[in-house]
Amino acid sequence: MRRNPSNTVLTRLQLLMLLLQLLTVKIKVVDSHKVTASLILNHNYPVEEHTVHTPDDYILTIYRIPTSPKRNHQNQTAEKPVVFLQHGILCASDDWIINGPETSLAYMFADAGYDVWLGNARGNTYSRQHKHIHPDTSDFWRFSWHEIGVYDLAAMLDYALAVSQSNSLHFVAHSQGTTTFFVLMSSLPWYNEKMRSVHLLAPIAYMRNHSFILSKLGGIFLGSPSILSWVLGSKELLPITSVQKLMCGHVCSEGSMLKFLCSGLLDFIGGWGSRHLNQTLLKDVCSTHPAGASTSQIIHYLQLYISGDFRQYDHGRAKNEIIYQQPTPPSYNVQNIKCCVDMYYSDNDYMSAVKDVEYLASLLPCVELYRIPFDDWNHYDFLWSNNVKEVINNKIINKMMRYDDFV
């Protein structure tokens, strides 16, 4: 396959950045105030904090669970298969651990013998840094999930593979994490070769049948380039605050008369009527979410909804001509996704519609679909349901272990 010269330059920059990081790589002593790190330590698992620099100078914090206390009797120096988990929009690495050590996917991977890495995209709680730009300026937030895919995800995967001394990994993502996967594999197709297996929860690419009411309303005003989308773009969206954490401790706690507001908000966004959500997690979910993002990420999704296509950010005709050399944004070539993909989807997911997932699957050369056997399973049940271990997690691990019979 012939590579675009600009992609080759990007690859060289990524390799150079990675080499510089590895020459100075240090495992930081984690701070107790960081939720991902403190929770992992509280659950008696080891944790490492790593810093990843992207080619455009964003500074990301990612976490590693190198082993499990349940496997201390086994050879800890043996090479382990790598698994990388990527969160969704307005989320962070906390997603994969707050369900506790018996149910959370990250811990289950560690218990099964995997070298576990937890990513964090630019702009969230753990990745609000840039080499030159302060997060209080709009320049910091001038990105969408396109940049998260081609810069952040590529850099994090390369880093995890290099530190783990492996040439391939298993990849798991939820929601926007799946979108960034599609972006990366379509734009830089040689990353397909680094995938050992791929498991996408509530995948989002095409949004023709998207049913979230705020998307329908937002699409009218922000789904096409306009003065309003220009004014509202490149802004920080819903960062975590100390006031929010304090409120969560009261409103979402066990016994609170207002607890229904917390579960109701998740139902409104992810799909009404779920009986699966682990209600005891509401306080933890509230105190770590939303974790911050750029408004341009939301606008980009609204553009997909209005256009019916899976394509790059629409800056307007004049700027598109400069950036893309054409009046409209180029579509992502999903036919470039050559690695086999497992996609998990459900009927009651407002963000990831059944017809959209199945249409995407029809375009991929190697795909396996798993439709959740509950008609009320929603967008967040993929992470925090009472029965997520039995419905999804065990299925993913069993599938992965077919590739890794030495685990």
> Are the CB atoms for 110 and 404 separated by under 8 Å?
no
Can you read off the two tokens belonging to residue 191?
């990353």
- In order of their start, the domains of the chain are 5-403 (3.40.50.1820)
User: What pLDDT does residue 268 have?
Assistant: 78
Contact predicate 87/104, CB 8 Å: no
The rounded distance, in Å, linking the Cα atoms of 45 and 328 is 49
Classify 344 as helix, strand or coil.
strand
Distance between CA 287 and CA 177 in Å, rounded?
21
Which residues are designated catalytic?
175, 379
Task: Please give the pLDDT value at position 13.
Answer: 54
Largest separation between any pair of C-alpha atoms in the chain: 63
Residues with pLDDT less than 50, the chain: 1-3, 5-6, 9, 16, 19-20, 22-33, 407
Q: For the CA atoms of 76, 79, 80, 86, what is the dihedral angle to 10 degrees?
A: 110
Rounded CA gap, 297 and 89, in Å? Answer: 8
* Residue whose token pair is 């990250």: 106
Decide if 210 contacts 310 (C-beta within 8 A).
no
Helix (H) or strand (E) run with residue 155 in it: helix 154-164
Q: In 366-380, which positions are buried (b, 16+ CB within 10 angstroms) versus exposed (e)?
A: ebeebebebebbbbb
User: Do strands 129-130 and 82-86 pair parallel, antiparallel, or not at all (unpaired)?
Assistant: unpaired
- DSSP structure class, residue 145: H
Residue 52 CA neighbour count, 13 Å, CB half: 32
Q: pLDDT at position 77, please?
A: 54
